[in-house]
Amino acid sequence: MEIGGLWPALLTPVDQDGAPEFGQLEKIVQLCVDQQLDGLYILGSTGQGVLFTEQQRVAVTQKVMEVAGTKLPVIAQVGSLNTRESIRLAQAAQQAGVYGISTVAPIYYQGGVNNSLAHYRAISSSIDIPFFPYHVGNQSIFGGDARYYIDQILTLPNIKGMKLTTQNLYEISLMHILAGDDLILFSGADELYCHATLCGTVGAIGSFFNLWGEECRYVRKEFIAGNFDLGNRFMLAFQEIINFVLPNVWTFFQKAMILKHGIDIGIPNPPLGLGNNPWQDKDVQEILDRMAAVTGVINH
């Protein structure tokens, strides 16, 4: 299976009590299938993974696989507050049929790069499907030695690639230079997903691809094919919009997903969305119309 392209960091719709809303979840997965996107990254920060119970996360994974089946590869993010739970989640996701597993390094109990690598090793040793650890952009994680960091990553069982959520393009390039073809690298910064193709990434995983997956996939392919004008025009508009909506991004996603796709994702579990102001339909529709105009994707 050739892995790459554009993958939404899937939103997990919730009901008024904050529990997964499986009817709307089915709709959003089917939308991604119908748009012929390249894969799904589930239960990351956009998908509220750590805010659900272990049982809810297993149920979400099973529902996603029920709809996506063999139509789209799925990577399940299994980060949690303890390594044992991450292992159980990884094994349950493998049993559900996902393509691969991803996880973050320890967050609260930080112990440097070696602690992160031990956490990764424990999880990747518990499965026999591709493993994609999550790298948050921060030069300090290298411990001053990028070569050591990459060499250690490459020793992890079942290692296949990494999700790189960083706005530092040089950092992405350096990881690609040091790993060569031994790591499949995904960009995790929506606002640089075209730029990152110049740094050795094979694909992009992002929150805004839930809303504009078809448009973003089209622009990325055109950019790679040499359509710089479209890439430049689109990315500047995309970055401006991301910057504008980010302070109230959860209420924006809720309103925009309803208006554009007829899918109600609900308001996420706190602390996500706390303090977000509501959006007016007309303001969101103006943004949707602008994106449609800048891509012209409806004509392709």
Over residues 212-270, the pLDDT tens digits come to: 999 999 999 999 999 999 999 999 999 999 999 999 999 999 999 999 999 999 999 99
Number of folded domains in the chain?
Answer: 1
Residue 178, domain member (yes or no): yes
Give the per-residue pLDDT at 138.
58
Q: Which domain holds residue 16?
A: 5-213
Task: Assess whether pLDDT exceeds 90 at residue 299.
Answer: no
Residue 94, domain member (yes or no): yes
Give the per-residue pLDDT at 298.
47
Closest-CA residue to 187 (of 201, 199, 198):
201
β partners of residue 101: 76, 131
CATH of the domain at 62: 3.20.20.70
Enumerate residues 6+ apart whose C-beta is below 8 A from 36: none
Give the per-residue pLDDT at 34.
97
Residue 36, domain member (yes or no): yes
Q: Per residue in 35-70, pLDDT tens?
A: 999 999 999 999 999 999 999 999 999 999 999 999
Residue 86, domain member (yes or no): yes
Q: CB of 56 within 8 A of CB of 19?
A: yes
Residue 84, domain member (yes or no): yes
Residue 269, domain member (yes or no): no
Q: Per residue in 186-224, pLDDT tens?
A: 999 999 999 999 999 999 999 999 999 999 999 999 999
The more confidently predicted of residues 2 and 160 is 160
Section 84-93 average pLDDT: 98
* Percentage helix, strand, coil for the chain under 3-state DSSP, each rounded to 5: 55, 15, 35
Residue 287, domain member (yes or no): no
Stated pTM of the model: 0.95
Residue 78, domain member (yes or no): yes
Share of the chain above pLDDT 70, in %: 95
Residue type, 156: L
Name the strand (E) or helix (H) holding 214: helix 209-224
Q: How far apart are the first and last CA of the chain?
A: 26
β partners of residue 162: 185
Taking each helix axis from N to C terminus, what angle separates 209-224 and 281-295, rounded to the nearest 10 degrees? 20
β partners of residue 204: 6, 187
Q: What is the side-by-side strand order in the sheet with 184-187?
A: 5-8, 203-206, 184-187, 161-165, 131-136, 100-103, 74-77, 40-42
